[in-house]
Amino acid sequence: MLLGDFETAQNISEMANKILGEIEDALPTPLNPRVGISLYPDAGTDITVLTHRATIALTAAHDKSSSRVRMWSDARSSPTDNTYRLASDLGRALPHGEIELHYQPKVSAATGHVSGMEALVRWYHPWFGRIEPDEFVPLAEQNGLINQLGDWVLFTACRQLRYWQDEGLAPGTMAVNVSAHQVARLDFAETVRRAIRDSGITPESLTLELTESAVIRDDASTAESIKELCALGVRFSVDDFGTGHATFSNLRNLAVDSVKIDRSFLAGMVLHGQDAVIVEAIIVMADRHGLSVIAEGVENIDQYQRLRELGCAEIQGFLLSTPLAEDEMATFLASGHQLTA
């Protein structure tokens, strides 16, 4: 059943209980029916995901100790409660095809044309639905699976970029997130070279986004790997810059090309002067250090205009597009989308 025009989740629960009562009154034999509910957009924006999560809620409703009407948010335990289950299931996620990549486009702030994209990993668990990276990536690091997961993301993203290039879709550069664990590997540089060689892309079309922990750790092998790959032409960017301990001084010994301003500063930059000052300071300091700036989490045209005035190089966010599946991204690129102020 698809239901709209409701004010609160409580309205839906009341209607669901009313429907259950009518079903019971109409049946000659008591069957004790149950209802599982998923709410758009909290439980998802895709009909397949919404249906799957309503089914999860329905399964929870069949628990004898449970209410006969369950919301997906209630049916799913907290991430902490599920840690051991997720950690156990993560090892089979890749071979079972549960891990996918989505792609969020970036545009040049100056021209509004697509300049590249970021590969974003998603885990679609058969029971819990979509698991966010901030839940399962730390588990992968703890369980020793981060290299396997990271290599799959890297090789898949590079192959996808080459495919779109061959199709004449002008995808720009591909950004792939790498953790401190990956960069510290002795064979990290060789792994990246192999991904480039196997896919046939140019090193200059690949950007590796470093976490803050990879930047601030004093690790000779990390610095050497970055230096080696930069000499090859691979670009490096620092993700979520400004939210933690990483500073421009940390970047002196690393061959980094750009920094990405965290979305938390953009949310209030138009209305709150302090956030605007921080954003401007990052852009000015980055320019002095020869670094370009990417702003993520751009959601409205006012933010875009202000960032362009400040000299931000690229923007990324819902103003342009949500993360897109492979086929959706191909359609987006084919449309020749341009962001205009």
Kindly tell me if the per-residue pLDDT of 64 is higher than 60. no
**Alpha-carbon distance values, 134 to 56, 313, 327 (Å):** 22, 27, 25
What DSSP element (H or E) covers 282?
Answer: helix 273-288
**What's the predicted TM-score (pTM) here?**
0.76
**Alpha-carbon distance values, 228 to 69, 152, 253, 255 (Å):** 58, 21, 13, 9
Are residues 68 and 20 in contact, defined by beta-carbon separation less than 8 angstroms?
yes
Are residues 147 and 120 in contact, defined by beta-carbon separation less than 8 angstroms?
no
83-334: CATH topology? TIM Barrel (3.20.20)
**In which residue are the tokens 């953790």 written?**
179
Reported as a single tens digit per residue, the pLDDT across 97-125 is 999 999 999 999 999 999 999 999 999 88
* pLDDT band (50, 70, 90) for residue 78: very low
**Alpha-carbon distance values, 290 to 173, 230, 232 (Å):** 19, 15, 19
Kindly tell me if the per-residue pLDDT of 142 is higher than 90. no
Kindly tell me if the per-residue pLDDT of 158 is higher than 70. yes
**How many CA atoms within 13 Å lie on the side-chain side of 60?**
21
Rounded Cα distance between 14 and 337, Å, is: 44
Pairing of strands 258-261, 114-125: unpaired
Q: Where are the domains of the chain?
A: 9-75, 83-334
State the amino acid at position 269 in one-letter form.
M
Rounded Cα distance between 31 and 272, Å, is: 57
User: Is residue 220 packed enough to be buried (19+ CB in 10 Å), middle (13-18) or exposed (0-12)?
Assistant: exposed
List of residues 6+ apart from 24 with CB closer than 8 A: 30, 31, 32, 33
Q: What totals of helices (H) and strands (E) does the chain contain, helices first?
A: 14, 11
Reported as a single tens digit per residue, the pLDDT across 310-323 is 999 999 999 999 99
Are residues 276 and 270 in contact, defined by beta-carbon separation less than 8 angstroms?
yes
By three-state DSSP, how is residue 44 classified? Answer: coil
Residue of 55 and 92 predicted with greater confidence: 92
What per-residue confidence (pLDDT) applies to 243?
A: 66
Reported as a single tens digit per residue, the pLDDT across 181-217 is 899 899 999 999 999 999 999 999 999 999 876 776 6
* Residue spans of beta strands (DSSP E) within 97-212: 99-108, 114-125, 129-131, 173-178, 206-210
What per-residue confidence (pLDDT) applies to 80?
A: 47
Rounded Cα distance between 156 and 153, Å, is: 5
